[in-house]
Amino acid sequence: MATIARAGLRDRSLQVRATRDRELLREFLEEDRLFAAYAICDLDEREFGRTRWGVALRSGQPTAVVLEYSGHSPQPVFAMGEPQGVDAILDDVIRPRVAYVSTRMELLPAVAEHYRVDPGPEMVRMVVDRATFVPLSGPVARLVPADIGEVDRLYDLGFASWLPADTLLHGVYYGIRIDGKLIAAAGTHVISREARLGVVGNVLTHKDHRGQGHAKLTTAAVTADLLRTCDQVVLNVRSDNPPALAAYRAIGFREHTRFEERIVHRRGALWDSIVSPFRRWFPTHKES
């Protein structure tokens, strides 16, 4: 992986700082609205308090943005913009020890200046709108907060899971039951009423019921609900999952772009200092 210019060679016209300026952030992120959909949704009041933002500016204009969403480790991090700006923000402003980074392939060298990057499959961002959506009918039902126990058991998260009941209250979740048991569900990661964007996620079918179209039905139900108030709905899927790609295409989703989602570990951490002397003995394990 190629490297980028280091701090000593940093463009002196580049200014880096933390920001809470939602209008500045929104204007920059809207340059690629569908790729930045998660980050744009996080500008809404309900999510914004859980976020930290770094921005790189040249002549007062943003050239790069990095978002860190607070929560359990690894924290989600989103990076967009020029490599030098992303490098500088990760150097000075956004510095989680472990993170789950979402960015384009061309920005991974900037991330790798500060983090060990785990391998991972390429991801596909897909999008649907009212013009392309293909509705489906089937035995799906809207899930409500009282269903949280069933949802957690399906996701195998247990009763003390990270998925609180208000996720079903504020999000949109649909499920399928067979003989009274929840065997498939789909929901939302985040919704922006202001930006009119929705993000589908947490699509899962019990292993004993896969291959029967349940994921497609639940995803279609969630999407139909979101498109009542959203102009676009997006989702992520691994590029090495042809059945899922085909299922989403069947209900009108199309590919927007490809990108990377990787677990990363901050360089200079204790574990890095322990393992680095041994890396040369394992040439088949290459850093990304």
**Chain mean position to CA 53:** 16
pLDDT at position 45: 94
Q: What's the chain's Rg over C-alpha atoms? A: 20
pTM of the model: 0.87
DSSP state of 3: -
Let me know if the fold of 7-122+260-281 is the same as that of 133-252: yes
Q: Is CATH 3.40.630.30 correct for 133-252? A: yes
pLDDT of residue 156: 85
Task: Say what the pLDDT of residue 269 is.
Answer: 56
pLDDT given for residue 124 in this prediction: 98
pLDDT of residue 73: 77
CA distance 86 to 160: 36
What is the DSSP secondary structure assignment for residue 229, as one 8-state letter?
A: T
Q: How many CB atoms lie within 10 A of CB 169?
A: 11
| Confidence at residue 72, expressed as pLDDT on a 0 to 100 scale | 76
- Taking 50 as the pLDDT cut, the residues of the chain under it are 1-3, 7-8, 159-160, 275-288
Task: Tell me how crowded residue 166 is: count the other CB atoms within 10 A of its CB.
Answer: 10
Token couple for 26: 């929104």
**pLDDT for position 278:** 42
Q: And the tokens for 285?
A: 């394990």
Nearest CA among 217, 129, 145 for reference residue 178: 217
Cis before 74 (ω within 30):
yes
Task: Please return the burial class of 133, using the count of CB atoms within 10 Å of its CB with bins 0-12, 13-18 and 19+.
Answer: middle
- The CATH number of the structural domain formed by 7-122+260-281 is 3.40.630
And the tokens for 199?
């993000």
- Tokens 């677990």: give the residue: 263
Q: Which helix (H) or strand (E) holds 140?
A: none
pLDDT digits (tens, 9 = 90+) for 220-257: 999 999 999 999 999 999 999 999 999 999 999 999 99
Are the C-beta atoms of residues 181 and 32 closer than 8 Å to each other?
A: no
Sorted by where each begins, the domain ranges of the chain are: 7-122+260-281, 133-252
Is-contact 226 218, C-beta < 8 A? Answer: no
pLDDT for residue 276: 47
CB-CB contact of 205 with 186 (8 Å): no
Side-chain-side CA neighbours of residue 278 (13 Å): 5
Kindly give, in sequence order, each residue whose CB lies less than 8 Å from that of residue 255, ignoring residues fewer than 6 positions away: 124, 125, 126
CA distance 116 to 264: 5
Please identify which residue in the block is written with the tokens 């209900």. Answer: 251
Task: Supply φ then ψ for residue 260, to 5 degrees.
Answer: -120, 140
Helix (H, G, I), strand (E, B) or coil at 45: helix
